[in-house]
Amino acid sequence: MSFPNGNEKHQITTASRRTSLDSHRYVANTEDSKMPDTMPNHSKLAAETIARMTPEEYADAEKKLLRKLDLKLIPWMTLLYLLSFIDRVNVGAAKLVGLTTELHLNSLQYSNASMIFFVSYVVFEVPSNLVLKKLRPSRWIPATMICWAIFQTCMGLVTNYGQLLALRFCLGLFESGLFPGLNFYLTGWYKRDEINRRCAFFFGGAVLAGAFGGIFGYALSKMNGVGGKQGWAWIFIMEGLLTFVVAVMSFWMIHDWPDTARFLSPVEREMVLVRLKQEQGLASEGGFNWRVIRKALVDWKTYCLMLMYIGAAEPLYSGSLFTPTIISYLGKFTISQSLLLSTPPYVLMFFTTMTTAWLSDKYQRRGFFLMGWSLVGATGYLMLLTIPIKYPGALYFAVFVSSSAVGPLIATTIAWTGNTFGNHYKKAVAMGMVFSAGNSGGIVSSQAYRNKDAPRFLPGHGTALAFCLLNFTMAVILYLGVKKENQRRNDKFGPAPRPDEVQEYEDPEYQVRWGLQGMSRKEVVELGDDHPAFRYIL
């Protein structure tokens, strides 16, 4: 037996230090001696760090992580949806400052111009969600924004009805991916009991800011005559250019999925994935295949949520497209006064949306909030139908009542949709279908509010009332259906696993417990919300 000399001791010490420093190094294939030991296994180190945390330390780290996610993700998403919302409804402000006069549009042609946007918007929502899942959000979303910004800007150059129709169609085509994409994107970062507040904030914040979009549009219309263009043209041009600038910035401001987020440390990235894994289990695994797509297409809950969302979206678009016009008939208001008076109901909508989202997440309930607010919305439209025109104050109050309900209906329906489907691709397809159906409400509202029905707009109000009741009916049906399924699974398999319970999906004991004998891991992954351990949020 020999002992190392001084030089050998130094070499061993150096090697030991290197081993200590590089103990986190990762070798893709440890049996391949050609693989250099140079790639850090941050995931392993991060998992070990998380495992060493006390419950108090983990809770504190989790709070800091959520604040970081909120600051990095939500404000920019709110800005993107704000621009999307303004760009789709600014035709309403343009109408008030001369669009229909300059292009010689009659009432039906204006309604068609409002409607055609939603035709392409509806058709391409599902394909866009699938593309978002396959490609990087930081590339797909900005690219679509650049395209719609170009068409938005070009709308300021139109000289006839046909050109306006074509550009509105193209605008809807490229805007179609943003709102469903952003909501689907959030489900890859937040747990189910956290999603409603985030959806509500970026939706409510954008709508609140968008409420001032009419005033912003009116201010832009004061550029009337600059460059030989009418004021309504400058609304489209300047808002399109603003969207273009933000779209280019989005290549750097939008982050991809948590496992590659540069603004998170390795421990934070691992914590995001651990949190989602604990709550969703296999939901975040799996790849694209047509069996999963078929599951979304044949699931009754998909169609129930589609009808529920159109029940919320039709009143939303009714308000956003026609509230200034409706208010203008309640008294002798100037254009700027009509636009200004349309803003306060949206402020109320923001507060009801945020309060409902907070309570909905806290108590883990969706259905009861939808039932309640849909009845409030129906009450508002019933008031608009029955109060005589000689009482403008009461009618204006009715606008507040109906508006207060629309925001919570939208945000809570979105959250319930994201909560209901397990498999990632099934969720992408289902959410795309839900948003496609919902945005068909824009087509309906465009045709329901006609100038010839002024000043009462009874067909439009009656239609919105019916859609609020549709939302109520579907909320009742989905609530009773998933509650019954939860109870069936509890009776047959026992309670759902705890969030911190380790689930070995290929363990025979685990498979026996959940009735999964003989199923491969891939087949278990594809179950998604059909997995016996999955429980629906009510």
419: CB partners within 8 A, 6+ apart: 192, 195, 366, 536, 537
pTM for the full predicted model: 0.76
Question: By C-alpha distance, which of 154, 153, 147, 208 is closest to 172?
Answer: 147
**Where do runs of H (alpha helix) occur along 329-366?**
335-341, 344-363
Tens digits of residue pLDDT in 371-390 = 999 999 999 999 999 999 88
pLDDT score for 18: 35
Confidence category of residue 170, pLDDT binned at 50, 70, 90: very high
Confidence category of residue 11, pLDDT binned at 50, 70, 90: very low
Flag the least confident range among 10-14, 108-112, 276-280, 459-463. 10-14
Length of the chain (residues): 538
Residue 220: CB atoms within 10 Å: 22
Confidence category of residue 502, pLDDT binned at 50, 70, 90: low
Tens digits of residue pLDDT in 246-283 = 999 999 998 888 888 888 888 888 888 888 776 655 44
Between these two residues, 350 and 183, which has the higher pLDDT value? Answer: 350
Tens digits of residue pLDDT in 393-450 = 888 899 999 999 998 999 899 889 988 987 777 887 888 888 888 878 878 887 887 7
Q: Which two tokens stand for residue 158?
A: 């139109």
| DSSP-derived 3-state class of residue 412 | helix
pLDDT higher than 60, residue 517: yes
In whole angstroms, give the CA distance from residue 313 to residue 407. Answer: 9
Strand pairing category for 39-40 and 25-26:
antiparallel
pLDDT score for 32: 34
Q: Cα dihedral angle (242, 245, 248, 253), rounded to 10 degrees?
A: -80
Residue 190 is given by DSSP the state: S
Between these two residues, 287 and 232, which has the higher pLDDT value? Answer: 232
Q: Which residue reads 């994409």 in tokens?
A: 181
pLDDT higher than 90, residue 91: no
Secondary structure element (H or E) that encloses residue 39, with its range: strand 39-40
The neighbouring-strand residues paired with 26 are 39
* C-alpha 141: how far from chain center: 13
Mapping DSSP onto H, E and C, the string for 82-104 reads: HHHHHHHHHHHHHHHCCHHHHCC
